Chain A
Amino acid sequence: MVLELTRDLSYEEKYERFMERIEAGERIEADDWMPDDYREALIRLISMHAVSEIMGALPEKEWTPKAPTLHRKLAIMAKVQDEMGHGQLLLRVAEDLMKPLGKNREDIMQDLFSGRLKFHNVFHMKAPTWGDAGIIAWLVDGAAIITQSMSLNSSYGPYARALQRICAEEVFHAQHGESIILALAEGTEEQRSMLQKSLTEWWPALLMFFGPKSKENVGKSHVNKNIKYKIRTKTNEDLRQEFFNKYIPRIKSIGLEIPDKTIHFDEEKGEWVYEQPDWNEFKKIVTGHGPMSEQRLSLRRDSYQNTRWVRDALASRGKEA
C-alpha cells in the first residue's frame, strides 16, 4: 500500500516519508523506496561485512588442520564453515540492494580483487601461531559481536535479520576461542608465553578494529550518516569502550598482561584511557598494504581464476535450461 501511494510523490515527499519511518523505528525492506545514499551506505557496509567474513576465514583456515587435537580440529572446522555461511548470507543481502543498480556478485568479487572494496583490518594480519588462532576466535570474534549487536535493530530489515543469526553463532565462536585461551593460559610455560605473545601482537589491531574515534584520525567517515539512518546506533569509540569493559577484566583474570602501560579506567570521565594505535598504520592496512593483504587477496584471486571453468560450465547449463 505504501508503495502505491509513494509513486506519485515528489522526491522530497518520499524522502520525508522515509525519514518518518526511520524515526518511528520501522524496518525498511528490500523492495521499499529508499534514498540513494541510504542504499549506497548499506551496500558499502554490508558488502564490506560480507567479504570480511569470507577473507576472515583465510587466517583461520591456516590453523584448521594444525589444531592440536581432534576435538579442536572439529571445532575450528565448524567455525570456519559458519564464517563462510555468514559471508554467503550477507552477499545475498548486498546483492538484493545492488540489483536496481544493475550490479551483482561478480562486481563485489572484482571490487574485492581490485582493492576498491575493503575488508576488516584484522584479516590483513599474520597469524603465525596457535595462540593467534585462539586470540582471533576469542577477541576478534568478541569484538565482532559487540559491533554487530549494535546493528541487530538496524533500520534495514534484511540486514538486521541476517545479523540475528550471525550473532547467535558468533557467541559459540567466542566460547570456542575462550576455551582455547583457557587451555593455553592454564598450560605449560611455553603455552603461556605463546599466548602472551599473540595478545601483545594483536592488541593494536584489536583497537583499530572499531575504527578511529573521529574523522580527524583518518579523514572521511560514514559513521554519522549511518547513525542518522539508524543503520547503526553507536560510535566507534562507544564500541571500543564496551570492548574494554567486557574484556580487560577477563584478560587480567587469566594472568595476561595488556601491552599498554598507560591504560586505566578514568572514574571522572567514566571511560577507559589508553594509548592510541597508529592510525596511519591503520590507513595503510585497510587500503591493502597490511602484512598479509596481498598474499590473502591473491589466494582468493588466483583460486577464483583457477575455478572459472567450473562457473562457466554451470552457466552454460543455465543457458540450455
Chain B
Amino acid sequence: MTFENAETLSQNKEALSACKALLYQLADDDFLLAYRGSEWLGLAPHIEEDVAFSSISQDTMGHAVMFYQLLEELGEGEADRISHLRTPAEFRNAILLEMKNGEGSYVEKPDYDWAFAVVRNLFYDYAKMIRLQSLKSSSYEPLAHMARRIISEEYYHLMHWEMWFRQLMTSTPEARERMEQAIRRVWSDFGGVLTTGPEGKQIAAAGLMESEEVLTERWIQKVSAILNETGFQPEGEPGMKSGNGRTGEHTEDLTEALAILSEVYRKDPAAQW
C-alpha cells in the first residue's frame, strides 16, 4: 500500500486521518522544541554554542514548517494558521517538549538549565532519528521523501548533543550531579514523546510509520548504549508524569509559549505580514 500524493491518500479515509494525526505530532514536537531552543539565544554557555544551537533550532523550526506544509496539502488550512491559531488543547506535541527551559522568561531573569537542554535535546533527537528512519519507507510518499531530506541535518544535531552529553557526564562532580538530575527528569516524561497517541494503531496499520512498540524498543537500545558508556541508569520505564500531550493534555507552559508565538499574527490573521 502506497499513497503517491495528497489526492490518493484522501481516497482512503482511515489512512488520511491517521496521517494527519501523525503529522500533527511530528510538526508540533519540532515547533515547540525549536521555540524553546530559540529562547536560549544569547544565553548559551559560550558564543560558539550560541551559534551552533541557534543553527540547530533554525533547522528544527524548518522541519516543523515542512510538516505543517504537508498538513496544508491535506486540507487542514494554511500552515501559518495551523501553527498560530490552534488552541493549546489542539496541540499534539509531547509535554516534555513544551516545558520551560528553567525559571524566568527568555527576556527577563532567565535561570535556564543547560543540563536539561542537553538531555532533552539528545533524547528527543534519538527518538526523532528513529522515527525518520522508519518514515523513509512510509506509505505516504511525500512524507518518506521529506524524512530523507531531514535525516541529513538530523545527523549533525545528534553528534552535537552526544558530544555535550559525554563531556558533561565525565567532567566535574557538579556537572555529573546536574546531568543525572536532568536525566531523571527527562526520563519521567519521555513516555510522552515515545507514544504515538490514540491513533497509533491506525498509523502503523496504514503503513505510515512502524508501531510505537518497535520504535520504543529501538530508542531504549540507543539510549542505553550512551547511558552504559557513561555509567548511569535511571530507574524504571520512561514515564508520562506530566500527562499525555498526544491526547491534548498540556501545561501552562504551552499556553504561555503559544501566546508568545502567535502574539503578532493574532493581531490580524487576515493581513499580509
Contacts and interface: CB of A to CB of B under 8 A. Distances in A.
Interface of A: 54, 57-58, 61-62, 64-74, 77-78, 80-81, 84-85, 87-88, 91, 130, 183, 186-188, 190-191, 295, 298-300, 302-303, 306-307, 309-314, 316-317
B170 interface: yes
B174 A313 contact: yes
B229 interface: no
Nearest to A78: B58
Contacts of A72: 273
A314 B171 contact: yes
B80 interface: yes
Nearest to B109: A302
B41 A80 contact: yes
Interface string B175-215: 10010000000000000000000000000000000000000
B111 A306 contact: yes
Given A72-B273, A310-B168, A316-B171, A77 B61 contact: yes
Interface stretch (B89-97, B131-139, B263-271): B263-271
Contacts of B106: 61, 65
B271 A73 contact: no
A87 B80 contact: no
Nearest to B82: A70
A85 B51 contact: yes
A51 to B, nearest CB: 10
B110 A303 contact: yes
B111 A302 contact: yes
B180 to A, nearest CB: 13
Interface residues on B, range: 35 or more
Indicate the member of B42, B79, B114, B167 with the most A CB atoms within 10 Å: B42
Nearest to B257: A65
B54 A66 contact: no
Given A70-B80, A300-B42, A307-B44, 15 more contacts: A58-B42, A61-B38, A61-B106, A65-B39, A66-B264, A68-B265, A69-B84, A71-B65, A72-B273, A74-B61, A74-B65, A84-B41, A187-B271, A306-B43, A306-B111
A79 to B, nearest CB: 10
B265 A69 contact: yes
B129 interface: no
Contacts of B62: 74
B168 A88 contact: no
B107 A62 contact: yes
Contacts of A295: 108
A298 B110 CA distance: 10
B264 A310 contact: no
B261 interface: yes
Given A57-B41, A78-B58, A81-B58, A190 B172 contact: no
A106 to B, nearest CB: 11
A313 B272 contact: no
21 contacts: A64-B41, A68-B265, A70-B64, A74-B62, A77-B57, A78-B58, A81-B55, A91-B47, A130-B273, A187-B271, A187-B273, A190-B267, A295-B108, A299-B110, A302-B111, A309-B175, A309-B178, A310-B114, A312-B174, A317-B170, A317-B171
B167 A317 contact: yes
A134 to B, nearest CB: 10
Interface string B222-265: 00000000000000000000000000000000000100110111
Contacts of A57: 41-42
Nearest to B111: A306
Nearest to A85: B51
B65 to A, nearest CB: 5
Contact of B43 (A62, A80, A303): A303
Contacts of B141: none
B67 to A, nearest CB: 11
A81 B272 contact: no
A302 to B, nearest CB: 7
Interface string B31-62: 00001001101111111101100110110011
Contact of A313 (B38, B168, B268): B168
